[in-house]
A and B are shown apart, each in its own frame.
Chain A
Amino acid sequence: MLECDRARRSIVQYIADGEPALPVYASLRAHLGTCASCRAEAERLRAVEGALRVMPVAAPPVGLAPEVMRRVNSLGQPPREEWRLFSWETWVPVVAFAVALLIAMISMPANLLSSMTLYELESTLRALPGQAGGWLSPMESITRNELFWVIWTSLFVTMAGVGFSLSLRNLSREATAWLAEWCDRLTDVTDRAWQRARNAH
């Protein structure tokens, strides 16, 4: 029985692969020589395999392609520069830009912001209750930490890069490809800087 359990585990793949004379199947083949029940299972699997290999393909109806083309022609040009609301191509860059802006805002020295309304927004953010406020408050104390700034800057660059490249995506695929490569390189540089900073610590 234990033998059968072992045989049943590999027999399906063995039959499906066309019963190859591989060493891994040596014990299975030996078992099939002595066990009628597993031999019957092999016979059933062969029947299934044979049937599946000649299963008829469903042919498309004659009018299908013309109908497709009629509908495509009525659609006109593919909507290359369309901004689809709620598609990821729209909201991902928006969110990325928002995060980049938030990072830049929080990073700016307070005296630069003093005359701007942004400052008020920043203080509002800092005054946020619970987790959000708690997350923002320790930043004051670690602003001189080199590692922090490397991560912070690379996060900003990534977010801005994602926002920027995805915004251009709908305008020109070539520009996007070029930008994507450029962003990759930039990420590489920041990555290396981060590694160096981490090793230094």
Chain B
Amino acid sequence: MSDQDPLAELVSRCQQGDTVAFAQLVAATQADTYNVAYGVLRNPQEAQDMTQEVYLRAWRALPGFRGESKVQSWLYRVTVNTCLNRRRRLRKDLVLVDAEDALVDVAARGPSVPERVTLKERNRAIWAAVARLPEKYRLVITLFYQQELSYQEIADGLVLPLGTVKAHLNRARKALAEGLRLPEEGEDAGV
């Protein structure tokens, strides 16, 4: 187990079946887990259900955790897999939207920013546009900007090549920016 991982000691106690240690692990990580779940699912009830599901899975899977990665990265992976699966199942009931189409849609309609806006209002409009991004883009945004993971940590967590992570982030940033009409630009005012 890596020396730098403060949760490693808790994990080895959890592996012996210590529920008190697991409660501490939950307390230490639940905010991150919930936020990532919310980032993917965009629904408080779903995020709550999936966070519970993540920890139940983690409890069952912990005896097999060998400490090859940090506990937090491993938890991110469990969270992402659980939530993306949930999303896929949910989407069967919804209208299927191709991820790329949705990205183009965000870029085209963009965060609608009225003529005179405060910085706060402009930020709100951009956050609302983030919510409309396809989940794979929203996920990297959540991990990078909110969980403050590095490109490499995201790549490890999602089992994706580093270049793909960067490309996803840049495409999301570009889509958000392209749709954005800043009032001070004065160019095509009608969004």
Question: Which A residues have a C-beta under 8 Å from some C-beta of B?
Answer: 12-13, 15-16, 40-41, 43-45, 47-61, 64-65, 67-69, 71-73, 75, 77-80, 173, 177
Give the complex CA separation of A49 and B145 in angstroms. Answer: 9
- Could you name 16 residue pairs across A and B whose Cβ atoms are closer than 8 Å? A12-B173, A15-B173, A16-B170, A40-B185, A45-B173, A51-B127, A52-B145, A54-B123, A55-B145, A55-B146, A58-B35, A60-B31, A68-B26, A69-B26, A77-B17, A80-B63
Q: Is the CB of B127 within 8 A of A64?
A: no
CA distance A110 to B39 in the complex (A): 64
Chain B residues bordering chain A, tally (CB within 8 A): 48
Contact A173 B126 (CB under 8 A): no
Query: What is the CA–CA distance of A48 and B124 in the complex, to the nearest angstrom?
Result: 11
Interface 1/0s, chain B 94-138, versus A by CB < 8 A? 000000000000000000000000010011001100100000000
Binding site for A on B (CB under 8 A): 15, 17, 19, 22-23, 26-27, 30-31, 33-35, 38-39, 44, 47-48, 51-52, 55-56, 59-60, 62-64, 66, 119, 122-123, 126-127, 130, 141, 145-146, 166, 169-170, 173-174, 176-178, 180, 182, 185, 187
**Cβ contacts under 8 Å, A12 to chain B:** 170, 173-174, 177
Residues of A within 8 A of B17 (CB): 77-78
The CA of A52 and the CA of B174, in the complex, are separated in Å by 13
Determine the main DSSP class of A at the interface with B.
helix
- B126:A71 contact, CB within 8 angstroms: no
Q: How far is the CA of A144 from the CA of B177 in the complex (A)?
A: 69
Answer whether A51 and B182 are a contact pair too, CB < 8 Å, given A61-B48, A65-B27.
no
Q: Return chain B residues, CB-CB under 8 Å to A52.
A: 126, 130, 141, 145, 173, 176
Smallest Cβ-Cβ distance to B41: which chain A residue: A58
Q: Which 6 A-B pairs have the closest CB atoms?
A: A60-B34, A51-B126, A58-B38, A44-B177, A51-B123, A12-B170
CB distance from B120 to the nearest CB of A (A): 9
A-B interface contact total, Cβ < 8 Å:
120
Query: A48 with B166: in contact, given A40-B182, A55-B146 (CB under 8 Å)?
Result: no
- B48 pairs with A60, CB closer than 8 A: yes
Contact, CB under 8 Å: B182 / A43: yes
- Min Cβ gap A44→B in Å is 4
